[in-house]
Amino acid sequence: MMEYVCELKNISKRFHTINNETKAIEDISFKVEKGEIVSIVGPSGCGKSTVLSILAGLEKPSGGEVVVNTSNIGFMFQKDQLYEWRSILKNCILGLEIQHKDTEENVNKVLKMLKKYGLYNFRNYYPRQLSGGMRQKAALARTLAIEPELLLLDEPFSALDYQTRLSVGNEVGEILRKEKISTILVTHDIPEAVSISDRVILLTERPAKIKKEYIMEFSMCEGERTPMKCRNTTEFGGYFREIWRDLDVSGK
């Protein structure tokens, strides 16, 4: 039987301000399998972040049902949210500290992760001493330190310059797949979504509905699948064109 980490059933969301009502989401339903990487793409302002906030329990839906089969959720945003007065290592063990799980064993795991991300020699540095890409990797290390069963990423690479975004996106995509972390990635970067995900969900203009879903299968990927290998397949361009066409930014 298929195991799911979360499910949205007929979710809608309206925001109320003093003299206005914004309908952000209208009837969205989807499930995420354990270990699956799903991307959500759609026009700017359509309701993508709201979907993540509802899954994280930060916003209540106006209608529908949210099922999340874990309390261990990691959330990472566009801005890295590192604390400037804490060293990189201290930032990365913050979540463990809060959960009273900052044991020697767990701290050693974080140190190992920092080695893998090329941040070990910077563990005693402060965030301002690191580049944008390194900061974002540190933020990811902090998020993964609590070993989340569901990872929610809201445009995590969009503040990075193009080349850094490609390489960090590639490394992160590889890590998520190797460690089989169930992930929902919100991005406006279609090639990023195609290269990283198992499935891409395209939303309509606000109020967001699901316009279409795409399964990302790459037969040409030899050995372990990585975002960079996917970008070098013949299928890649086809997926990109299909989603780009359906996104229809021309508004016609």
Ligand X SMILES: Nc1ncnc2c1ncn2[C@@H]1O[C@H](COP(=O)(O)OP(=O)(O)O)[C@@H](O)[C@H]1O
* Region of residue 227 (phi > 0: left; psi between -120 and 50: alpha; otherwise: beta): alpha
CB of 28 to ligand X, least distance (A): 11
From the list 6, 8, 11, 24, which residue makes contact with ligand X (rule: CB under 6 A)?
Answer: 24
Q: Does residue 77 bind ligand X (CB under 6 A)?
A: no
CB nearer to ligand X: give 24 or 184.
24
Pairing state of beta strands 199-203 and 37-41?
Answer: parallel
Helix spans in the chain (H): 48-56, 88-92, 94-98, 104-116, 132-145, 162-178, 190-196, 227-231, 234-247
Nearest CA among 243, 250, 206, 230 for reference residue 21 = 206
Tokens of 86: 């804490």
CB nearer to Mg ion: give 49 or 197.
49
Site string for ligand X, 217-236 (x = CB under 6 A): --------------------
Of 188-217, binders to ligand X (CB under 6 A) are: 206
8 Å CB contact between 111 and 89? yes
Tokens of 175: 């890590």
Is there a cis peptide before residue 127, judged by omega within 30 degrees of 0?
no
Q: How far apart (Å, rounded) are the C-alpha atoms in residues 135 and 142?
A: 11
Q: Does residue 49 bind Mg ion (CB under 5 A)?
A: yes
CB of 13 to Mg ion, least distance (A): 13
Of 32-51, binders to ligand X (CB under 6 A) are: 44-50
Of 117-156, binders to ligand X (CB under 6 A) are: none
CB nearer to Mg ion: give 8 or 134.
8
CB of 49 to ligand X, least distance (A): 3
Question: Residue 84: exposed, middle, or buried by beta-carbon count in 10 A (0-12, 13-18, 19+)?
Answer: exposed
CB of 116 to Mg ion, least distance (A): 29
Tokens of 34: 């354990």
CB nearer to ligand X: give 24 or 89.
24
**Residues contacting ligand X: total by CB under 6 A:** 12
From the list 4, 7, 14, 22, which residue makes contact with ligand X (rule: CB under 6 A)?
Answer: 22
CB nearer to ligand X: give 8 or 114.
8
Which residues sit at the interface with Mg ion, rule CB under 5 A?
49
Which residues sit at the interface with ligand X, rule CB under 6 A?
15, 17, 22, 24, 44-50, 206
